[in-house]
Amino acid sequence: MSLIFQYPLWFIFFCLALGAIYSLALYYKSSHFVEDGPQFLWIKRGLALLRFLSVSLLSFLLLSPLIKSNFVEKIEPVIVFVHDNSASIPLHWNTEDSSNYIQSTNQMLEELAKSYQIDYFTFDQDIRAIDTLNFEGKASNLSKALEEINGLYYNRNVGAVIFASDGIYNEGNNPIYNEFNFPLYTIGLGDTSQHSDAKIVQVLSNKIAYLDDKVQVEVKLLASQLKGKNYKIHFGSVNKGVFSEISSQSLEITKDFDEQNTSFTFKAKSIGIQKYRVYVESFPNEISLENNAYDFFVEVIDNRQKILLLADGPHPDIAAIKSVIDLNKSFELEVQYANRFNAQIDAYSLVILHQIPSKNNASAAAIAQIEKSKIPVWYITGSSSNYANFSNIQKLVNVSSSGDKSNDAAAYLNKDFASFQLSEATSQKLKKFPPLLVPFGSFNLGIGTKALLKQKIGAVESDYPLLAFQENLSNRSAVLLGDGLWRWRLYDFQENNSNQAFQEIIEKTLNYLALKGDKRKFRVSTNKNIFYEGEEILFEAELYNDNYELINEPNADLIISDEEGKNYPFAFSKTEKAYLFKTKSLPIGSYNYVASTNYNGKQLEAKGAFSVSENKLEGLYTQADHLLLKQLAQHTNGQFFPSSQVNELAKLLLAKEDIKATLYQSFKTRPIINLFGLFFLILALLSIEWFARKYFGSY
């Protein structure tokens, strides 16, 4: 303990001087006592000393001195015991093996607990500070468990971390790349030998399919120790627990460790989330049957948006646009010609007007329908366009041209366009695309119109638009002031052996124009449509008033229904301006949900569907990886032990001299005025002086 002064030490003399002056002024030649004389001289000197000390101490405290204390803390070592609690652990155990291991492990921990503190953890996909095991974990994330331990015990006196696992991980990164600050003593569980097993390792298919589409399912198979036998693979749909086979195959297993891929194709016939299953018939003496089947879900939707292309007449640009739309499952194109127009515009999500109005056909009826329905329109002009009429029927751009003369204009990208972006690859390819034929004249953009592509005439980059877009409160529209899109498509394929750049330009234009605004006042969504068993399912709901401002005054309810028609009622919790509900408790199956609320006397509902599938990660790979555990121990200056030698681990740790208590020295600085003893000392000095003066008649 020491004192720290914030002022020069010689300031203490001022404090002493102040105390001396004060006591002399009070007691020198004092005549306030009832009896005075030589016999009271020593009493007066004693009282003067008390006043000197109290005033000097108070003055000293005004200098704000600090007291520095030294502390030494003894921290005992801790042993951290981390055990794998995933479902793959007991696959190789018989009753005797598990009983012997548990007994030996308990004995080891009891021995270590006599000398060290033991902290217990179990892990699967997550890590928990508990000491009970049930081996029900659906996944193994070794790297996450090690990261958590590393963070929890940072700067702690950890003697060792005992890590018991089979070395199999199916989530997270390879733990060998983790940085770990403590010696890791690994216990190898499970069986490293290969057993007879046929498994479905992976099934790949589209998560979303459109109605009546053909869907391909890729299946990855793995067989060990089954050479010469045949897979018998079945594929079908599952409805209310009943399997309906769609097709089957038989494949020969040609090696002891045989990996094969196969595929199935089916037609999406029913709307909604459909459950499908692939399974392999079991063989005798397989170590695990859980990996012989694989369930997956496909959401079948009917969401194609119909596009009407109304043209003045046949043109190669129409074929170029059609080639892109035919490859896009989101759109369905219908081509009509102005002289035979008989469509109802309300049935379409987008209308493409190709060289309409033309010089020969004003198409007044069709244009009137489009204006009335407020449907998005893409205008494409050309040599047959009537530019006077064209400028009157739309507000994107005013074109002053007779249409008799034209220019060759290449496209260059407007970098200030922000509504959507073309990829860097397409932007580079676009620079080399051949020019389009554009009308000779002047172009004035309307309010809110922005050009994605501008005209480059010769070597001059003009401000004239080539492809421009406009968005207002009712709809979106676009205009392409050029003839010759077919040249872009042909050039793209000749130069790049694909039409990706051309397709991207057309598709992004269509996607932007045909985007449907969501006008619902009550909306509900899940974080995804397909979940694993035990995975958190998140429902988020939003309620809007007439001005489309978020509100959440009324309560909102949620009813989830399973395949059997059983209902699970829940209530949403309110967030700041919306609604939220979370659950992990739903069993495997397909579900529909209806969310509802009552606002302004109206019952509002939102519906949807999702599915919960079985998590079979722990059954896919059953061969223990003790090599990984050995590498982990080696990289952290630890040691690997088979499960049969856990008692040897206890002896090793008890004999290690570097596992011992650690002394930590620390310093604490605080103002000396905070010392209670000093307060009572000054109080005592002043009190004794006061009582003495009172007693001897000074007061």
Mean local confidence (pLDDT), 590-615? 88
pLDDT at 570 over 80: yes
pLDDT at 40 over 80: no
Residues contacting 279, CB < 8 A, separation 6+: 200, 233, 234, 292, 293, 294
Backbone angles phi, psi at 476, to 5 degrees: -120, 155
**Lowest-pLDDT range of 230-234, 481-485, 507-511, 692-696:** 692-696
Residues in the chain: 699
Backbone angles phi, psi at 218, to 5 degrees: -95, 130
pLDDT at 35 over 70: no
User: Of all residues in the chain, what percent carry a pLDDT higher than 90?
Assistant: 38
Adjacent-strand bridge partners of 411: 455
In this prediction, residue 543 has a pLDDT band, given cuts at 50, 70 and 90, of: very high
Task: Tell me yes or no: is domain 77-190+625-655 CATH 3.10.20.30.
Answer: no
The end-to-end CA distance of the chain, in Å, is 42
CA angle 17, 20, 22 (to 5 degrees): 105
pLDDT at 340 over 90: no
Mean local confidence (pLDDT), 324-336? 88
Task: Report pLDDT for 32.
Answer: 61
In this prediction, residue 29 has a pLDDT band, given cuts at 50, 70 and 90, of: low
Q: 627 is written with which tokens?
A: 């090599």
| Per-residue model confidence as pLDDT tens digits over 385-416 | 999 999 999 999 999 886 678 899 999 999 89
| Per-residue model confidence as pLDDT tens digits over 253-262 | 888 888 889 9
Q: Tell me how crowded residue 136 is: count the other CB atoms within 10 A of its CB.
A: 11
DSSP 117-172: EEEEEEESSSEES-------BS---HHHHHHHHHHHTTTS-EEEEEEEE-S---SS
Residue 465 CA, chain-centre distance (Å), reads: 40
In this prediction, residue 246 has a pLDDT band, given cuts at 50, 70 and 90, of: very high
**Integer CA distances (angstroms), 412 to 449, 458, 615, in order:** 17, 12, 51
Residues contacting 364, CB < 8 A, separation 6+: none
Task: Tell me yes or no: is domain 305-514 CATH 3.40.50.880.
Answer: yes
Task: Report pLDDT for 664.
Answer: 67
| Per-residue model confidence as pLDDT tens digits over 660-690 | 877 667 777 888 887 778 888 888 888 887 8
Task: Tell me yes or no: is domain 522-613 CATH 2.60.40.1930.
Answer: yes
**Integer CA distances (angstroms), 312 to 307, 389, 394, 482, in order:** 16, 14, 18, 15
| CATH fold for domain 197-297 | Immunoglobulin-like (2.60.40)
Order across the sheet with 184-188: list the strands. Answer: 127-128, 117-123, 78-84, 158-165, 184-188, 639-642
Mean local confidence (pLDDT), 334-352? 89
SS3 string of 491-525?
A: HHHHHHCCCHHHHHHHHHHHHHHHCCCCCCCEEEE
Evaluate whether 133 touches 83 at the Cβ level (below 8 Å): yes
| Per-residue model confidence as pLDDT tens digits over 505-524 | 999 999 889 876 556 789 99
Cis peptide before 357 (omega within 30 of 0): yes
Domain residue spans in the chain? 2-71+670-695, 77-190+625-655, 197-297, 305-514, 522-613
In this prediction, residue 225 has a pLDDT band, given cuts at 50, 70 and 90, of: confident
- Rounded Cα–Cα distance for residues 585 and 534 (Å): 7
User: Using CA atoms in the order 429, 435, 438, 441, what is the torsion angle rounded to 10 degrees?
Assistant: 100
Tokens 């790349």 belong to 177
Evaluate whether 365 touches 357 at the Cβ level (below 8 Å): no
- Rounded Cα–Cα distance for residues 40 and 30 (Å): 11
SS3 string of 362-399?
A: CCHHHHHHHHHHCCCEEEECCCCECHHHHHHHCCCEEE
Average pLDDT, the chain: 86
Adjacent-strand bridge partners of 477: 377, 470
Backbone angles phi, psi at 667, to 5 degrees: -125, 145
In this prediction, residue 604 has a pLDDT band, given cuts at 50, 70 and 90, of: very high
Is 197-297 the same fold as 77-190+625-655?
A: no
- Rounded Cα–Cα distance for residues 470 and 453 (Å): 13
From 105, 110, 107, 114, select the one nearest 83 (Cα to Cα).
105
Helix 316-325, helix 500-514: angle, nearest 10: 80
Task: Report pLDDT for 95.
Answer: 59
149 vs 225 pLDDT, higher one: 149
- Rounded Cα–Cα distance for residues 307 and 325 (Å): 9
